[in-house]
C-alpha cells in the first residue's frame, strides 16, 4: 500500500507509560503485557475513555531500542510502580497511517525516510506509533508520527 505522508503540527499529550529497553525483535513480546499493566492502573482512575489512545514511543539505544508504551491521558498521572507519567512532545512532524499487519510497518518507515530525504528534512531519533485498531482488526491501522528536527538558523 502507498503511504500518504503529511507534515502536521502535533499537540503535546500527557501519557501513562511503562518504559523498557529491548532488542527490536523483542518489542512484540513486551508490548501486550505493558498495555495490560497500564490499563490496570488507569482503569480504576476512569482514565481509559474513548479519547485514550494506545501508543508506543521509540528511541534508539545502541543495538537496542528504548520504548515507552501506554496510553494518552487528559492530565498528568501520579504513577505507581512501573506505570509512570510521560508526555509526547508537540511540534512539527510527518505523519502517515499504515494499514496492514504490523510486521510490514517498516515499509511505512521507509516511505517516511524517503520523504525526509526528498524534502531536505531531518527526522528526530524519537518517533511514536498510535494503534488505531485492535491488533486483530482487518486490516490493523497504525498512525506513525515522526517529529522533525529544526536546523539552527545561522546568526
Structural domain includes residue 155: no
Q: What is the pLDDT of residues 7-54, one digit of tens each?
A: 999 999 999 999 999 998 899 899 999 999 999 999 888 767 777 899
Structural domain includes residue 66: yes
Structural domain includes residue 124: yes
Structural domain includes residue 1: no
Q: What is the pLDDT of residue 12?
A: 96
Structural domain includes residue 154: no
Structural domain includes residue 28: yes
Domain assignment of residue 92, given as a range: 6-149
Domain of 20, CATH number, reads 3.20.80.10
**Chain-wide mean pLDDT for the chain?**
91
CA dihedral 116, 117, 121, 126 (to 10 degrees): 50
User: What's the structural domain count of the chain?
Assistant: 1
Structural domain includes residue 85: yes
Amino acid at each position: 500500500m502507498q503511504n500518504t505522508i503529511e507534515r502536521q503540527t502535533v499537540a503535546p499529550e500527557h501519557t501513562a507509560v511503562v518504559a523498557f529497553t529491548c532488542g527490536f525483535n523483542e518489542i512484540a513480546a513486551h508490548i501486550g503485557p505493558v498495555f495490560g499493566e497500564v490499563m490496570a492502573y488507569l482503569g480504576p482512575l476512569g482514565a481509559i475513555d474513548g479519547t485514550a489512545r494506545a501508543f508506543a514511543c521509540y528511541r534508539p539505544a545502541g543495538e537496542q531500542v528504548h520504548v515507552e508504551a501506554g496510553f494518552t491521558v487528559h492530565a498528568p498521572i501520579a504513577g505507581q510502580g512501573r506505570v509512570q507519567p510521560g508526555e509526547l512532545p508537540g511540534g512539527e512532524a510527518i505523519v502517515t497511517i499504515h494499514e496492514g499487519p504490523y510486521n510490514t510497518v517498516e515499509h511505512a518507515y521507509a516511505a517516511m525516510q524517503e520523504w525526509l530525504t526528498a524534502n531536505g528534512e531531518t527526522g528526530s531519533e524519537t518517533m511514536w506509533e498510535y494503534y488505531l485498531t485492535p491488533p486483530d482488526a482487518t486490516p490493523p491501522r497504525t498512525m506513525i508520527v515522526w517529529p522533525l528536527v529544526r536546523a539552527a538558523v545561522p546568526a
